[in-house]
Amino acid sequence: MVKINGKELDITGKTLADYLAATDYDPKRIAVERNGEIVPRNQYSKTVLADGDRIEIVSFVGGG
């Protein structure tokens, strides 16, 4: 199981890019942390989600 923003999901083995493509996240508006480390934006398609991973996705909204 992979924990994304506190929610356990059965997506072990998928890439981060695969997961994101199935969601409403806009890859241009997010930052992704994996087990406490930033995932570089050019690594989303190479990052394979492993059992026990803790992912935090921060999605930015406009305004400032």
Partner 1 sequence: MTRALEERQGVKLQEKFASAVAAVCGLGGLGSNIALSLARAGIGKLILIDFDQVDVSNLHRQQYKASQVGAYKTEALTACLKEIAPYIELETHTVRMTEANTVALLKDADVICEAFDNAECKAMLVNIVLEQMPSKYLVAASGMAGIDSANLIQTRKVMERFYLCGDEVSEVSEAESLLSSRVMLCAAHQAHMVLRILAGEFES
Radius of gyration of the chain (CA): 11
Q: Is 23 in the site for partner 1 (CB under 8 A)?
A: no
Confirm or reject binding of residue 28 to partner 1 (CB under 8 A): yes
Residue-wise burial string across 22-53, b where 16 or more C-beta atoms lie within 10 A, e elsewhere: eeeeeeeebebebeeeebeeeebeebebeeeb
Binds partner 1 (CB under 8 A): choice among 3, 29, 46, 54: 29
CB of 42 to partner 1, least distance (A): 9
Q: Which residues bind partner 1 (CB under 8 A)?
A: 26, 28-31, 33, 36, 38, 40-41, 56, 58-64
